[in-house]
C-alpha cells in the first residue's frame, strides 16, 4: 500500500471507529455497574432517528442533542425494567433492540413516507487541526476529523480519571463487583445502575447521531447495522478499561475500513473476512483466563 492509500485507510478506520467508541464507552460505564445492555442497538438506532428529526428542525448541534435524548429515552425503558422491576437483562435488552429497530422504521415511514430515502440532514465536516493534520500517514486519521471524534480524545481520559480517582467512580465499580457491599457502605446500587444506564443510553444515542450527522447525512432503516452488538464485543476486547475500549474500537473500525478497501480494490478474498477478524480476536481473548477475570464480578446479575 502506498503512503497515501495507508493514510486514507487509517482515516476511514477512525471514521468507522468514532460511533463504535461512543457506544462502547457508554456500554463500558453500564457494565462496570454490573449491567449488560444488549438493548444498546435500540439506543443507537433511536439516536440516529432522533438526530434526523432534530437536525431537520434546526441545526447539527440540535441534532446531537436530539440523538442523545432519544438514546436516553430508550435507556430509560431498559433501566425501568431491569433495575426497578429486576427483569432479566438479556431478555429485556434483546426486546429493546428489536423494539428500537422496529419502532424507528415505523415512525420514519409514518412521518416521512416511504419516499423519505432522499431526505438529507445537515452534516458536520471534518476540521483539520493546523500542523498536526499534516503529520504523514497518521495526521489525517487523527487530526482531520469531525469535532465528535476530537471529543473522544477528552472523554477517554476523563472517564479513566472518573473511574479510578473519584468517589462516584469507586461506587460505580463497587456496584458492578459486589452490590451487597456497596449497599452496606450506604450506596444505593439501584440509583447507581439507573444513572449508568442513562449515561450509556445517551452515549449510544450520540453514536447513532454520529452515523447520521457526521457520516451518512440521512437516516435509513436498520442503519445501526449491529453496531450495538459490536460495541459489546469492544468492551470485552478492551478488557473493561476506558483506554482498552478506545483501542479496541479503533481495531474494529480498522477492520471495517479494510473491508471497504478490499471491496474497492477488488481483492480476491471474501470482503467479509476482515470484519470477522476482530470477533475472532475477542473470542481468543475470552478463552484466556485474564479476560474472564477482568469482567465485573456481578455483571448481568439481578440486584438483591
Partner 1 sequence: MTGAALALSVRGLTKRFGTTVALDNANFDLRAGTVHALLGENGAGKTTMMRVAFGMLRPDAGSLEVNGTVRRWRSSADAIAAGIGMVHQHFLLVPAMTVAENVSLGDRGFFRGFDPRAAADRVRRIGAATGLVLDPAARAADLPVGAQQRLEIVKALARDAKILILDEPTAVLSPSESGELYAWLRSFAAREGAVVLITHKVREALAVADEVTVLRRGRAVLSGSSKTLDEAAIIAAMLGGAISTDKQDSTAKKVPGAPLISLQHVSVTDERGVRLLRDVSMEVRAGEIVGIAGVEGSGQRELLRVLAGRLAPDAGEARIPARVGFVPEDRLRDALIPTMSLVENLALKEAGSQHGTMRWEDYSTRAETAVREHDVRTSGVESPARALSGGNQQKFVLGRELEGSPAALIAENPTRGLDIRAAVHILDELRSARASGVAVVVYSSDLDEVLTLADRMIVCFDGRASATPVDAAAVARAMLGLAS
List of residues contacting partner 1 (CB under 8 A): 164-171, 173-174, 177-178, 180-188, 297
Give min distance, CB of 169 to partner 1, in A: 7
In 30-154, the DSSP E strands lie at 127-128, 144-145
In this complex, which beta carbon is closest to partner 1, that of residue 108 or of residue 163?
Answer: 163
In this complex, which beta carbon is closest to partner 1, that of residue 162 or of residue 271?
Answer: 162
Give min distance, CB of 161 to partner 1, in A: 9
Q: Who contacts 157 (Cβ-Cβ below 8 Å, separation ≥6)? A: 242
3-state SS, residue 161: helix
In this complex, which beta carbon is closest to partner 1, that of residue 185 or of residue 283?
Answer: 185
3-state SS, residue 92: helix
Give min distance, CB of 202 to partner 1, in A: 16
In this complex, which beta carbon is closest to partner 1, that of residue 174 or of residue 206?
Answer: 174
Give min distance, CB of 199 to partner 1, in A: 12
Q: How far is CA 46 from the centre of its chain?
A: 13
- CA 279 – CA 228 distance, rounded (Å): 14
3-state SS, residue 145: strand
In this complex, which beta carbon is closest to partner 1, that of residue 55 or of residue 79?
Answer: 79
Q: Which of 216, 211, 214, 213 shows the shortest CA–CA distance to 230?
A: 211
Grid coordinates representing 195? 444513572
- CA 81 – CA 18 distance, rounded (Å): 29
In this complex, which beta carbon is closest to partner 1, that of residue 164 or of residue 267?
Answer: 164
Give min distance, CB of 224 to partner 1, in A: 31
298, 180 contact by CB (below 8 A): no
3-state SS, residue 226: coil
Give min distance, CB of 193 to partner 1, in A: 15
Amino acid at each position: 500500500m502506498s503512503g497515501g492509500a495507508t493514510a486514507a485507510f487509517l482515516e476511514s478506520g477512525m471514521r468507522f471507529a468514532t460511533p463504535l467508541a461512543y457506544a462502547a464507552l457508554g456500554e463500558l460505564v453500564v457494565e462496570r455497574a454490573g449491567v449488560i445492555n444488549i438493548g444498546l442497538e435500540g439506543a443507537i438506532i433511536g439516536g440516529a432517528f432522533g438526530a434526523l428529526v432534530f437536525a431537520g428542525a434546526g441545526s447539527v448541534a440540535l441534532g446531537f442533542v436530539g440523538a442523545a435524548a432519544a438514546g436516553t429515552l430508550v435507556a430509560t425503558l431498559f433501566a425501568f425494567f431491569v433495575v426497578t422491576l429486576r427483569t432479566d437483562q438479556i431478555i429485556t435488552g434483546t426486546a429493546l433492540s428489536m423494539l428500537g429497530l422496529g419502532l424507528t422504521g415505523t415512525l420514519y415511514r409514518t412521518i416521512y413516507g416511504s419516499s423519505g430515502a432522499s431526505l438529507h440532514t445537515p452534516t458536520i465536516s471534518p476540521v483539520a487541526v493546523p500542523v498536526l493534520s499534516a503529520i504523514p500517514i497518521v495526521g489525517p486519521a487523527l487530526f482531520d476529523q469531525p469535532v465528535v471524534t476530537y471529543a473522544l480524545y477528552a472523554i477517554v481520559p476523563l472517564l479513566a480519571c472518573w473511574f479510578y480517582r473519584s468517589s462516584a467512580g469507586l461506587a460505580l465499580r463497587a456496584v458492578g463487583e459486589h452490590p451487597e457491599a456497596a449497599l452496606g457502605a450506604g450506596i444505593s446500587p439501584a440509583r447507581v445502575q439507573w444513572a449508568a444506564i442513562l449515561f450509556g443510553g445517551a452515549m449510544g444515542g450520540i453514536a447513532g447521531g454520529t452515523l447520521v450527522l457526521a457520516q451518512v447525512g440521512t437516516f435509513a432503516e436498520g442503519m445501526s447495522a449491529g453496531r450495538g452488538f459490536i460495541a459489546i464485543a469492544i468492551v470485552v476486547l478492551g478488557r473493561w478499561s476506558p483506554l482498552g475500549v478506545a483501542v479496541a474500537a479503533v481495531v474494529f473500525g480498522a477492520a471495517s475500513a479494510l473491508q471497504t478497501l478490499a471491496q474497492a480494490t477488488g481483492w480476491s478474498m471474501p470482503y467479509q473476512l476482515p470484519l470477522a477478524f476482530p470477533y475472532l480476536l475477542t473470542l481468543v481473548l475470552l478463552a484466556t483466563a485474564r479476560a474472564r477475570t477482568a469482567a465485573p464480578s456481578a455483571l448481568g446479575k439481578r440486584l438483591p
